[in-house]
Amino acid sequence: MGKLQATLVFTEALINGVLVGGVYALVGTGMALVFGVMRFINLCHGELVMVGMYLGWGLFTVAGVDPCLSALICLPPLFWAGRGLYRLVVRPLERSREQSQVLLTLGLGLVLSNAALLIFSGDYLAVYTAYSDLVLKAGPLRVSVPYLLAFALACVFTLGVWAWLFLTAAGRSIRATAQHREAALAAGIDTGRVSSLTFGLGTALAGAAGCLLLPVYYLHPGIGGLLTGKAFVVVVLGGMGSCVGAALGGLLLGAAESLGAVYLSAAWKDAIGLLAFLLVLVLRPSGLVGRSRV
């Protein structure tokens, strides 16, 4: 009996971890795209996720829109906001030193999180839907319905991005730019437009992931830094710039955090990812999956 119980605990932790990991994968995919194509270090990716979360929360509170629907609704405005952001502040520094990119995006992150603080104050917010407390029972296993839904939608989004990257002309030129920038220029690809599209797409994915994270995380203005950290862990686990890698990295981080929370302590959850991040960077800089980019 004790052994059965232990197996159950393990399986549940693993399932929950993988479910959250699906959303991490979506967060990471946006960042991996931006890094893979533009070689641009975006330290405000988590704040962009936060913007998506506030949008989702606002839509739910004001109009009662379900966060899953909000994830779709906020794609176009955030795509265009991302393109605007690119035009305004990212493009001048796209080819500059890492220092400038890091400081710029940290500054942007401060602007976004402080704006959130001014508008929404520092309170912890959450979204309670009709199915928030629903639990799916499969035999002795119990799985949270909102987690399952978030996972399913994150998978749909991730697969959708892949399909777009592999099947459309614009997606193909994005992949080409990531694989060989000079050759892309020689092949007549407008790399400026590619960068703009990529940043817009990364921002939109961040926003969608934010809406999907609403059932998982409490929302507050300081959450951006935490999420940027997670995005980087995911991207580094998967090999910087690889989308497939980012997806696997997301699942891995989710599982590791969840198992860590059960077997070590919930408090150390965030440290596990960072330690993995450091170890992978030092021991296997090409990531766990390898170097196949975008």
Partner 1 sequence: MGERERGVGAHPAARRGPPPWTAMTGRRAGALASKALGAAGLALGAALAVLPLVSPSPYLSHLFATFWLWAAMSQAWNLVGGYAGQFSLGHAAFFGAGAYAAALAWTNGLGAAAGTALAGLAGAVLALPVGWLCFRLRGAYFVLSTLAAAEVVRLCALNLRGITGGAVGILLPPLSGGQRAACALGLALFGLATLTSALVRGARLGYRLRALREDEDAAEAAGVPALKSKLWALSLSGGLCGLAGALFCAQTSYIDPGSVFSLADVSIPAALGALLGGWGALWGPPAGAGGVVLVAEAMRVLLGRAHGLAYGLLLVLTVLLVPQGFCGLLAARRRAAGGEAGAGRP
Partner 2 sequence: MLEVELLRAGYGPVEVVCGVSLRVGTGETVALVGSNGAGKSTLLRAVAGLVPLIGGTISFEGQRLDGLPPHRRLEMGLGYVPEGHPVFPFMTVQENLELGAMAPRARAHRRRNLDRVMELFPVLGRRRRALAGTLSGGEQRMLAIARGLVGEPRLLLLDEPSFGLAPLVLARIYRCLAEVGPSGVGLLLAEQHVARALSLARRGYVLSQGRVVLEGGSEELLGHPQVRRAYLGL
Does the protein bind partner 1 through residue 104 (CB under 8 A)? yes
**Binding test (CB under 8 A) with partner 1, winner from 10, 61, 77, 92:** 92
Contact set for partner 2, span 179-238 (CB under 8 A): 179-180, 182-190, 192
Enclosing H/E stretch for 87: none
Distance CA 104, CA 38 (A): 15
Please, are residues 44 and 227 in contact by the beta-carbon 8 Å criterion? no
State in angstroms the smallest separation of the CB of 238 from partner 2.
15
Which of partner 2, partner 1, none does 267 bind, CB closer than 5 to 8 A by kind? partner 1
Q: Closer CB to partner 1, residue 106 or residue 262?
A: 106
Joined tokens for residue 223: 């959450």
Distance CA 161, CA 157 (A): 6
Q: Mask: binding to partner 2, 118-157, rule CB under 8 A, as x and -?
A: ----------------------------------------
Enclosing H/E stretch for 138: strand 135-138
Does the protein bind partner 2 through residue 169 (CB under 8 A)? yes
The answer to whether the Cα torsion of 121, 200, 192, 286 is positive or negative is: positive
Contact set for partner 2, span 16-55 (CB under 8 A): none
Stretch that binds partner 2, among 123-131, 168-176, 202-210, 274-282 (CB under 8 A): 168-176
Q: At what angle do helices 2-38 and 191-213 cross, to 10 degrees?
A: 150
Does the protein bind partner 1 through residue 155 (CB under 8 A)? no
Q: Find the angle CA(203)-CA(192)-CA(227) to the nearest 5 degrees.
A: 20
Distance CA 235, CA 237 (A): 6
Closest to 216 (Cα-Cα) out of 40, 56, 62, 8? 56
**Residues making contact with partner 2 (CB under 8 A):** 169, 172-173, 175-176, 179-180, 182-190, 192, 292-294
In the complex, the residues that contact partner 1 under the rule CB under 8 A are 41, 89, 92-93, 96, 98-104, 106-115, 117-118, 225, 229, 232, 236, 265, 267-268, 270-271, 274-275, 277-278, 281-282, 285
